[in-house]
Amino acid sequence: MTGSEVSGDTREAIVRATYRALCANGYADTTISAIAAEFEKSKSLLYYHYDGKDDLLEEFLRFVLDQLESELAATDATDAEAQLWNVIDQLLPPEPDAEAMRLRRALVEARANAPHSATYHDRFEESDEVIVDRLAAAVDRGVETGAFRAVDPEPTAEFVCSTAYGAIERAVTLEDQRPIHEARTGLERYVDGCLRAEE
């Protein structure tokens, strides 16, 4: 049994309950009953449609990924550099609030379990691909328009993606936002010194 037979409304309510349970409890302590406690509809719906915690978290990861994709697709940028920063801002918000930090912490915890779960592995691989593709598209646009130097878009995007992930991992595990701010400053310098076309 998987969540695929669930109606859109119910799926969204389940995803929201999972999200609240993750924010409140962290990944390790989010049990199916913790999710049920946050679920506003009949608990039996949840137990009927999902096999357990991993099944619910997979649904949640798919939802987060879909949302990330549509947010990235919706961002409108006048130029390549703004387009690049739109993606960076999604990953590393300049002023992340407590909820944004809790969500990222739950994702870092879930991701640490990816080597033990083929499903998590595939979801995170997919989300890395989406992020790297969007970053590479911005870099490619800059190279095409002459705003950026003739760099290779894909490795550049991989580098920016790793920097953002490392800053998030360090920030959420040590509960200290400084790595996020420092990574943004470092990325500004990188765009300045390594990407923007010389005058």
Which residues bind to a copy of itself, rule: CB under 8 A?
Answer: 26-28, 105, 108-109, 111-116, 121, 124-125, 128, 151, 155-156, 158-170, 172-175, 178-179, 182-183, 185-187, 189-190, 192-194
Of 177, 182, 9, nearest in space to 100 by CA: 177
Question: Which one, 14 or 139, has the nearer CB to a copy of itself?
Answer: 139
Which residue lies nearer to a copy of itself by CB, 47 or 159? 159
- Buried residues in 36-67 as b, exposed as e (16+ CB within 10 A): bebbeeeeebbeebbeebebbbbbbbbbbbee
Q: Which residues contact 198 (CB under 8 A, 6 or more apart)?
A: 149
The CB-of-3 to a copy of itself minimum distance in angstroms stands at 23
Q: C-beta of 110: minimal distance to a copy of itself in Å? A: 9
Per-residue buried b or exposed e for 84-112, using 16+ beta carbons within 10 Å of the residue's own CB: bbbbbeebbeeebeeeebbbbbbbbbbbe
Residue 79 DSSP label: S
Pick the closer one to a copy of itself by CB: 56 or 183.
183
Name the residue nearer to a copy of itself (CB basis): 80 or 167. Answer: 167
Q: What share of the chain is helix, strand, coil (3-state, %, to 5)?
A: 80, 0, 20
Least distance from a copy of itself to the Cβ atom of residue 14, Å: 24
Please state the closest distance from residue 39 (CB atom) to a copy of itself, in A.
24
Nearer to a copy of itself, 21 or 168 (CB): 168
Q: Residue 35 CB, nearest distance to a copy of itself (Å)?
A: 19
